Structure 1
Amino acid sequence: MAIGTQRKLWVLVTGLLCSFGFFKEFKPSEDYLNAYITAPKNASDSGLGFSNDVAYQEIYPYSTYAFLIAAFLTFPVTDAFLYKPIIVLEGFAYLSTRVLLVWGTSLHLQQLAQVTYGIASATEIAYYAYIYTVVPTDRYKQVTSYTRTTVLVSRALAGYLAQAFYSTGTFNLKELNYFSLASVTVSVLLSFLVLLILPNTNNCACNRSLKKIASDMWKDFKKFYFEQPMLFKWSLWWAFATCGVLQVGNYVQNLWKHIEELPGNEHALQNRHLYNGAVEATATICAAGAAFIISLLKVNWPVWGEFTIAIFSLVDAVLLLVASSADTLWVAYICHILYRMSYSFLITIASSQIAFNVDHGNFALIFGFNTFIALGMQSLLTFVLVDKNGPLELKVTSQFVIYSGYYYFLSLLFMFVGVYILTKRGWCMSVKNCWMDRARLEEQTSVDYTNLRLFHDSISSESTSSEENISSSDSEKELLTDY
């Protein structure tokens, strides 16, 4: 292919996919979804009239279960049947979610909306992966930067605009959903352009049966987790931490709703003193900044990584405990922003250490395995702690106490591992080697971070989104990619 033609192709692919990504993520209603679902039907905000308990016990769990099942099917199917049809499916799943949110008034229709959102979350892998199959390898860093920047800008802009629209009374909560519906409708139209205009990929996986794909994946799973202890250790934390952040993101709006309903705070909704949009947008930017700090630090993470994770996990446990007992929204808001920053910082360390311990071509596979484990644990937590049909059916504040204990357990586990490693290496020697020398730094940074970012984008999903409270899901998926 001529150089001029290649340049035109990668510009076309990048421009069209970035446009699709911007509109599918530009949903101003996301950060006020729970407020919309729980607002009275006859109120000025024209809510759906469900109680907060019904929202998190009978509606949101469906997206968690759907995400797990759809991800299990989508990851191999994407390879088997190419990327572009899956991108179209993603667009339609997002559109179906918006239609059901706007016009679906029954409990069953809202549960269906969560199912379609779980499907959309799982199919995002095709959006993030397709671009790498049709652009030259020397453009990987550029297209990664463009696609990620587009998504982050879209989410942050949607959050700040939602805050401005809501606080000033320009749009009520239902009208914010119309705004989101219009945006995802544009993304569906763009997905058809992707299908019709952009080239197909030369994907050898399409010549393999799904049975063969599953067999190969199982062999790789055993090789990674049973034969490489270092990789197993970091993957274990990655999966546990990702499960935690998804679960927290799913129900943080319900916690805010609980605080809003406490005596003395009832005026927040009536006086439009909810700052969900600004808080989520700020958390997005701060989380990205925290992840960027990692690239500036030359810490010897193989030596000090566990110790660092233990300390920050303990901080997360304290933040969640404080949020669970907060009686003002601002305390909960600040805890959420700091929690998002802490997670972004930690997941970057863990992801880099995983990358250092796998071959270049296995980044996507290992993070895929870790994601399935995280989603499986999240589904189990959802059923046991949240689901109305589960054994505990806890209140949202009690859930966050459990999540605090969850991170406290991770802190103790990695503190033990960190102390063991430092003792084995020698504390004086470990302190002396705290900062990487230039040769060590160059050796580790030779890892191809572009491919690492690619799969983290594909799983989304801050998040991040998570998923589940639909607005939370977006944040969740984003959290998984900010580094």
Structure 2
Amino acid sequence: MSVFYPTVLLCVYGFFSSLRPSEPFLTAYLMGPDKNLTETQVVNEIYPIWTYSYLGLLFPIFLITDYLRYKPVLVLQATSLVVTYAILWKAQGMVAMQLLEFFFGLATASDVAYYSYIYSVVEAAQYQRVTSYCRSITLFGSAAGSLIGQLLYSVAKVELIHLVIITLVSAAVAFAAPWFLPMPRRTLFFHKSPGAAEDKPSSSSTSQTEKAEDAETKEPMISRHSEAQSCGSGLMEVLRILFNDFVQCYRCRPLLAWSVWWALATCGYFQIVNYAQALWENVRPSSDYEIFNGYVETLSTLLGALAALLTGCLPVSWARWGELALCLLSFLMALCVFAMDLLRNIWVCYSSYVIFRATYMLLITVATYQIAASLNMQRYALVFGVNTFGALLLQSLLTLVVVDSAGLGLDVFTQFLIYGAYFAVIAVIFLIAGICRLASKRQTEEEVFANVQAESNCPPNGEASSCT
């Protein structure tokens, strides 16, 4: 099958589904005259529904996506987005907005279909190129949507409800694309090609130093069970294979370290991105001042994409210095959150948010490569799914305790104080891990040096029995 046709359709879908001019102004819209909801209702009772929905739907959608061969779930995602913005446009009341968050959680959980579909219709040699197209177009769509929304709001003085209508139209355009995609014949788990070998992403760009330092990462992940190659695997067989792969993958210490950071940091990142608008609304109310959320989202998206691009050019041995880099940059993220919370100046909030997102995008790109470099595509999907599930489980617990009105129901400033402390704890965890890793490596090098010295001082064979 030609790769051009499905790639173009996926790019069209990715662009228009990400083009959301209303998104930077969602909190202002919900708390404004159009919906007339209170801050407590929006922050403590409506927004948490997305977190719980995403968590509850992620694993079932992961299995259903593979079983139904991706395309039906893409159609489901497109439908969910249309329903989401139709409710946002027409419905009133807190219950309707909670239902909206459920459908948006369904759409978010269905992202796995978008990023998995292409691997079923193209050859392994084209994975990297086609993936870069799809990811780039979604980032561009997101940035373009934020910029268009801000320009319409600030320059053309368009009302927020009209931005919602434009977003709904964009979602309706995106809805048409998945219907024309060809139905894949094979998937990763349920519909495997008979006797097909598992593909392993190329790691040729990894330096020889990193290969030598991190060889233990790659050893347990190259082989595959022969039974995993059977065609038409049943549910229990798929679950058994997933569990065996899970145990084998997470025995690897470096992969486990990057995965722990992934889950911890993504949990905090979701909370900051979800509730930043509520913080800005308290610092600079949209009812009294002009707000520039769209410019901030555009800039942070583009800088995040640039930071992700630059990771390939940084002369850093991530295998050696990874934990300490995670420590330092996690501490920078903590400082950004504290600055937003404590200084309470809108320009400081905006600047800190941009730095925070760019830093996260840089690190998550590094983590993605470090984890994926030695995994075949099946384990790639498993590990990233497990990491995302772990992040959502932590986020749900954090939301339930800190945000939800059923828990403490704290105000947004107290929430951000907790989130800043959360990232500081992450920095401390990886500082300890980095120091332990360097100390262990130093001890190993000293032992090797001592053994070499002992061998060099050993007389020729037969002259000293003590060296035998």
What is the TM-score when the length of structure 2 is the normalising length?
A: 0.83
What residue is the counterpart of 2:190 in the other structure?
A: 205
What residue is the counterpart of 2:87 in the other structure?
A: 100
Checking the alignment, whether the CA contact within 8 Å between 2:245 and 2:379 is kept in structure 1 is no
What residue is the counterpart of 2:327 in the other structure?
A: 310
**Deviation of residue 102 (structure 1)?**
0.6
In the alignment, the residues of structure 2 paired with residue 360 and residue 22 of structure 1 have an alpha-carbon distance, to the nearest angstrom, of 25
* 2:308 aligned residue (271, 288, 291): 291
What residue is the counterpart of 1:139 in the other structure?
A: 126
**Deviation of residue 228 (structure 1)?**
2.2
**Deviation of residue 361 (structure 1)?**
4.4
In the alignment, the residues of structure 2 paired with residue 350 and residue 192 of structure 1 have an alpha-carbon distance, to the nearest angstrom, of 34
In the alignment, the residues of structure 2 paired with residue 201 and residue 48 of structure 1 have an alpha-carbon distance, to the nearest angstrom, of 46
1:259 and 2:283 correspond:
yes
**Deviation of residue 94 (structure 1)?**
0.4
- What is the identity, as a one-letter code, of the residue corresponding to 2:121? V
**Deviation of residue 218 (structure 1)?**
2.3
- What is the identity, as a one-letter code, of the residue corresponding to 1:280? E
What residue is the counterpart of 2:253 in the other structure?
A: 229
Secondary structure at the aligned position of 1:290 is classed as helix
What residue is the counterpart of 2:265 in the other structure?
A: 241
Checking the alignment, whether the CA contact within 8 Å between 1:52 and 1:257 is kept in structure 2 is no
What residue is the counterpart of 1:21 in the other structure?
A: 14
Over residues 128-176 of structure 1, what are the superposed CA-to-partner deviations in whole Å (9 max), with x where a residue is unaligned? Answer: 2112211233332332222122111111111111111000244110000
**Deviation of residue 416 (structure 1)?**
1.2
Over residues 112-140 of structure 1, what are the superposed CA-to-partner deviations in whole Å (9 max), with x where a residue is unaligned? Answer: 00000000001111112112211233332
* 2:28 aligned residue (31, 35, 51): 35
In the alignment, the residues of structure 2 paired with residue 357 and residue 367 of structure 1 have an alpha-carbon distance, to the nearest angstrom, of 13
Secondary structure at the aligned position of 2:343 is classed as coil
Checking the alignment, whether the CA contact within 8 Å between 1:80 and 1:210 is kept in structure 2 is no
What residue is the counterpart of 1:344 in the other structure?
A: 361
**Deviation of residue 285 (structure 1)?**
0.5
State how many pairs are aligned: 404
Secondary structure at the aligned position of 2:396 is classed as helix
**Deviation of residue 270 (structure 1)?**
4.2
Moved more, 137-146 or 112-121: 137-146
* 2:371 aligned residue (351, 354, 361): 354
In the alignment, the residues of structure 1 paired with residue 106 and residue 377 of structure 2 have an alpha-carbon distance, to the nearest angstrom, of 29
Pairs within 5 Å for 1:326-341:
326-341=343-358
Pairs within 5 Å for 1:340-419:
340-356=357-373, 358-359=375-376, 361-390=378-407, 392-419=408-435
What is the TM-score when the length of structure 1 is the normalising length?
A: 0.80
In the alignment, the residues of structure 2 paired with residue 360 and residue 141 of structure 1 have an alpha-carbon distance, to the nearest angstrom, of 12
In the alignment, the residues of structure 1 paired with residue 156 and residue 28 of structure 2 have an alpha-carbon distance, to the nearest angstrom, of 15
Secondary structure at the aligned position of 2:98 is classed as helix
What residue is the counterpart of 1:71 in the other structure?
A: 58
Distance 1:136 1:356, change over 3 A: closer
Secondary structure at the aligned position of 2:36 is classed as coil
Over residues 452-476 of structure 1, what are the superposed CA-to-partner deviations in whole Å (9 max), with x where a residue is unaligned? Answer: xxxxxxxxxxxxxxxxxxxxxxxxx
Distance 1:137 1:424, change over 3 A: closer
In the alignment, the residues of structure 1 paired with residue 338 and residue 421 of structure 2 have an alpha-carbon distance, to the nearest angstrom, of 8
Moved more, 76-85 or 321-330: 321-330
5+ residue gaps, structure 2, are 192-231, 447-468
Larger radius of gyration: 2
Over residues 305-351 of structure 1, what are the superposed CA-to-partner deviations in whole Å (9 max), with x where a residue is unaligned? Answer: 11111111111111101101233211100000000111112222323
1:320 and 2:362 correspond:
no
Over residues 234-265 of structure 1, what are the superposed CA-to-partner deviations in whole Å (9 max), with x where a residue is unaligned? Answer: 2111111111111111111111111124xxxx
- What is the identity, as a one-letter code, of the residue corresponding to 1:401? L
- What is the identity, as a one-letter code, of the residue corresponding to 1:372? F
Secondary structure at the aligned position of 1:205 is classed as coil
Secondary structure at the aligned position of 2:311 is classed as helix
Distance 1:349 1:146, change over 3 A: closer
- What is the identity, as a one-letter code, of the residue corresponding to 2:399? T
Bigger relative contact order (CA 8 A; separation at least 6)? 1
- What is the identity, as a one-letter code, of the residue corresponding to 1:212? E
What residue is the counterpart of 2:200 in the other structure?
A: none
**Same amino acid, percent of matched pairs:** 34
* 1:250 aligned residue (274, 286, 297): 274
Distance 1:314 1:18, change over 3 A: same
Secondary structure at the aligned position of 2:12 is classed as helix
In the alignment, the residues of structure 2 paired with residue 102 and residue 210 of structure 1 have an alpha-carbon distance, to the nearest angstrom, of 40
Distance 1:125 1:361, change over 3 A: closer
* 1:217 aligned residue (237, 242, 258): 242
**Deviation of residue 219 (structure 1)?**
2.5
5+ residue gaps, structure 1, are 1-5, 41-46, 262-267, 431-483
What do you get for the CA RMSD once the two structures are aligned?
A: 1.8
**Deviation of residue 187 (structure 1)?**
1.2
- What is the identity, as a one-letter code, of the residue corresponding to 1:37? L
Checking the alignment, whether the CA contact within 8 Å between 2:69 and 2:183 is kept in structure 1 is no
**Deviation of residue 77 (structure 1)?**
1.0
What residue is the counterpart of 1:116 in the other structure?
A: 103
1:422 and 2:415 correspond:
no
What residue is the counterpart of 1:301 in the other structure?
A: 318
Checking the alignment, whether the CA contact within 8 Å between 1:156 and 1:282 is kept in structure 2 is yes
